Amino acid sequence: MLRNLLLFTIIFSIVSCSPKIPKTAYEETQIPTVPDYSKKENWAALPTEKDQADRTPDPSLLDLQASAEADVFWLHPTTYTKKRGNTLWNAPTNDPKLNETTDEGSILNQASIFNGAGKVYAPRYRQAHIQSYYTKDKMAAKKAFALAYSDVKSAFDFYLKEYNPVNTATGKRRPIVIAAHSQGTNHATKLLKDYFDGKELQEDLVAAYLIGMPIQKDTFQNIKVCETPVETNCFCSWRTWKYGHTPKIYTSNNNIAVTNPLTWKTDASLAPADLNKGTVLRKFEKNFTRNLVDAKVQDGILWAHKPKFRGSIFVTFKNYHIVDLNFYYVNVRENAMARVKAFLEK
């Protein structure tokens, strides 16, 4: 029974027990090799390669990348959490064990959500260690995140040039969905500011899914919060906690954008679990469960009642961050497809 507990139970334990590192100053640590995005090994997912983003949790859900008319640029969350961070602030992109963790976790359980909406591109990047969010050395953390973003920017530049150049016949690029979770969302937010917000490329933006981090409603000047299920050129965001629990850092009237992933609206009405078309929590394939988790927007966060399943009694924490997307897997998948369809029909 314990072997089949929630995916996030395992990952949450790993993160919460990770050591307070790195121990050395940023300038004294080795900087991992700059990734070359012309090499396929520096991508966790490419539509031309077989990877975990191609899978689906049920035969009724199809990988449609081969015929997709849009692209999805996915930025994975922090998977760099273990003791190897004692010497490195940023993760190397050629670490086989770390890449396996990323692929079997984020790419399989999160990036795969979008293979019905578009061709999935997910770069490996020199992500900042998890403790960069908690260290007292704020300058070192800032440098670690800046290095990580420099890779994201390089990967996106390569993507635009080689995978999605302007079509000479139409003068347009393929429509783009930006999707990310946690640390990936931090980088995706900056990417949207640098490349899309009020810029020519904004015309190609279907929508952005900025999940797992608090994003202010006025973060962008020209990209607003999505208010309907098929609105385009906008962004969605939520951060999930156990129903009834509000962390001390959150206050009312905090201007944080929160989208209900069952209704795709921003009002505070409770969306019942019977609107949930599929949650993925255990073994990935043939194991999504309908009507399991509800959703309610509440003071800058998303509330969800703890789902009941075999072994759920052992899940006692209130932070549902690791399953921000898994809780609403099929609903997010169908929404991304609907927004792409609406964009193409304009």
| DSSP string covering 296-322 | EEETTEEEEPPPP-TTGGG----B-GG
For 250, other C-beta atoms within 10 Å of its C-beta total: 16
**Mean pLDDT score, 218-236:** 98
Neighbours of 306 (CB within 10 A): 16
The residue range of the domain holding 26 is 2-345
Question: Within the chain, what is the greatest distance between any pair of CA atoms?
Answer: 59
Tens of pLDDT, residues 73-100:
999 999 999 776 677 999 999 999 999 9
The pair phi, psi for residue 142, each rounded to 5°, is -60, -40
Residues 122/37, Cβ–Cβ less than 8 Å: no
At CB < 8 A and 24+ separation, what contacts does 196-202 make?
Answer: 196/223, 197/221, 197/222, 197/223, 198/222, 201/173, 201/176, 202/233
* Residue 82 contacts residue 16 (beta carbons within 8 Å): no
Model pLDDT for residues 96-133, shown as the tens digit of each residue: 999 999 999 999 999 999 999 999 999 999 999 999 99
CB of 120 closer than 8 Å to CB of 114 = yes
On the question of pLDDT at 5 being above 50, the answer is: no
Residues facing 190 on adjacent strands: none
Structure tokens at 17: 């027990």
CA Rg value for the chain: 19
C-alpha to C-alpha distance for 220 and 189, rounded to whole angstroms = 9
How far apart (Å, rounded) are the C-alpha atoms in residues 204 and 172?
A: 8
Q: Which two tokens stand for residue 105?
A: 């976790």
Strand partners, 224: 234
Q: Which of 250, 252, 256 is nearest to 215 (CA)?
A: 256
pLDDT score for 4: 38
Overall number of domains in the chain:
1
- Residue 316: predicted pLDDT: 74
Mean pLDDT of 154-181: 97
pLDDT of residue 161: 98
CA-CA distance, 202 to 217, in Å (whole number)?
A: 18
Q: How many CB atoms lie within 10 A of CB 73?
A: 26
Band (243; pLDDT cuts 50, 70, 90): very high
